[in-house]
Amino acid sequence: MKRADLVALGRVARSQGRDGRIKLRLNEKGPTGFVGRTVYMERDHDLRPYEVESLTLDRNAYFLKLKGVDTLEAADALAGREIYAAESDFRGLGGDRFYDFQIIGCRVRTQGGAEVGTVAAVLAAGGPALLVVRRGDEDVYVPFIEAICVKVDPEAREVVIDPPDGLLDLNEI
């Protein structure tokens, strides 16, 4: 499996208990939607598969138990590593909902058809999320709200925006 074929699920925060469980810091907020039985972590410059024994939610934190990681020491060795999963291992959200990773890389254009850039990230900013749109060598921050992001189509890899006057020029001096 290549990294380009995978989605970053989160990062190992630390070990949890003596049985090899690890605490996760997930990239997506809220329920994970992850239903797969395999995750991948980089080890010795290669992605290594790990079989998932369990993924549990306890007091607003997710804990992962991997087959073969059965001691505190083995879990400690994984701290800080990024965890990847296949996109097909996430259940659909239905309706007009989608995961952040589904819109990263989408083309952004205005309703008039002008190319703006490509979604590089989605930032949680305390209020509405912000789309970080890479535009050449600079980033433009677009509030991720219905009034501005009028059409989001992850399947077509496109976001159509109706920016208020000056929004796309905020980073220019």
> What is the percent of the chain where pLDDT is above 90?
41
Place of tokens 């290594």: 48
Q: Between these two residues, 104 and 158, which has the higher pLDDT value? A: 158
Instruction: Answer yes or no: CATH 4.10.80.400 is held by domain 100-169.
Output: no
Token representation of residue 13: 């925060």
| pLDDT of residue 85 exceeding 80 | yes
Per-residue pLDDT reduced to its tens digit, 23-49? 998 876 655 677 889 999 987 778 899
Architecture per CATH, 3-89: Beta Barrel (2.40)
Nearest to 47 by CA among 4, 101, 3, 5: 3
Domain residue spans of the chain: 3-89, 100-169
pTM: 0.67
